[in-house]
Chain A
Amino acid sequence: MTLLATGLPGFPDAAPLAGLAGGVLIGLAAALMLLGAGRIAGVSGIAARAFGIGSGSMPRIGASAFVIGLPLGALIIMGLSGAAAPSFAGPVPLVIAGLIVGIGTRLGSGCTSGHGVCGMSRLSQRSLVATATFMVTGFATVAAMNALGITVLP
C-alpha cells in the first residue's frame, strides 16, 4: 500500500499508482463480463435491470449479483487499507444529484462505466460523444458551483 501512495509531482492530491491499479481492476472486471458472459459491464444499465426498471436480456439475478458485488469489493479494500471513510455531500445535494444521475443515465443509455470504460475502449461513436459530453458538463457544473460559492463537501 505504500507504493500505491506514491504521488505525482505538481499535483499534491493525486494518487496515480492507486488510480492505475484501481483502473486495471475495473478493466479486468469489465473484461470478465465481456469475455465470460458476453455483456457490457455498465453499472447504470445493470442496476436498472436488477431493480426491474430497465428491460434487457441479462437475467435479473445476475444483474442483482453484480450490484451486490460492488459494495462487497469496496468493503474488502476498505478493510485491507484501513483508510478513514471519506466525506459525502448532505442529503439535499445527494437527492438532487441522484435524481439527475438516474434520469441522465437512462436517457443517455449509460454512465462512466458503460460509455466511459466499455464503450470508449471499443471506440464506439456513441460512447465517445456521451463521455465527452458528461465530462464537459461535469467540469462546468463544478466550475459553476465554485464560482457561485456553493460547497457540498465539508
Chain B
Amino acid sequence: MIRDTLLPLVSGTIFGAGLALGGMTDPARVRGFLHLFGNWDPTLAFVMGGAVLVMALAWLVQRRMQRPIFAEGFSLPDRSDLTARLIGGSALFGIGWGIAGLCPGPGFAALAIAPTSAGIFVAAMLAGMILVRLMEGKT
C-alpha cells in the first residue's frame, strides 16, 4: 500500500517542484518558447534537455535491471507503429498547448498557484479526455 501510494506521491511532488522551478507553471514562459519567430525564450529547451538527460541515464540503468525496485515487473509501452491517430492527436495537443501555454503537468501543478485558472483548464482537459472515451465506446 505504501509503495503503491508513497512512491507515486514522491515522484509527483518532485515532478511538480521541477515544473515550478523550471518556470513551466508560467504560461508566458511556455508561450515564450513557442513564440519561435519573436522574442524567443529558450528556457523550456533547458527544462526538456535536463529531464531527457537524466532519463536517458535512467533507461541505461533500467536495461540492466531484472525488475523495478518496488514492483514485480516493468509495465512499459512497446509499440513502435506510427499511426494517424498518434500524429493527429499530437498535432491537436500542440494546438491546445499553444493557445493557453499549458500542458497536463503544469495544468495540475498550477492548481497550487492559480486554482481558478488551472481548475478551469484541468476540468476542460478531463472533459476532453472523457469525450474521446465516449466516442470510442469504452475501450
Q: Which residues of B contact A65 (CB under 8 A)?
A: 5-6, 8-9, 12
Q: Which residues of A contact B109 (CB under 8 A)?
A: 70-71, 73-74
Residue in B closest to A133 when the chains form the complex, CB atoms: B90
Interface residues of A in 100-124 (CB under 8 A from B): 100-113, 115-122, 124
User: Which DSSP category, helix, strand, loop or mixed, fits chain B's interface?
Assistant: helix
Name the distance in Å between A6's Cβ and chain B's nearest Cβ: 11
Interface residues of B in 82-136 (CB under 8 A from A): 82, 85-105, 107-114, 117-118, 120-133
0/1 per residue, A85-113, Cβ < 8 Å to B? 11111010111111111111111111111
Q: Which residues of B contact A (CB under 8 A)?
A: 4-29, 31-32, 34-59, 61-62, 65, 67-71, 73-77, 79-82, 85-105, 107-114, 117-118, 120-133, 139
Extra A-B contacts (19), CB below 8 Å, given A86-B29, A102-B131, A138-B94: A11-B42, A22-B23, A25-B21, A26-B51, A33-B8, A37-B7, A41-B11, A68-B12, A78-B112, A86-B25, A88-B118, A94-B102, A106-B129, A106-B132, A111-B105, A121-B58, A124-B77, A130-B89, A133-B94
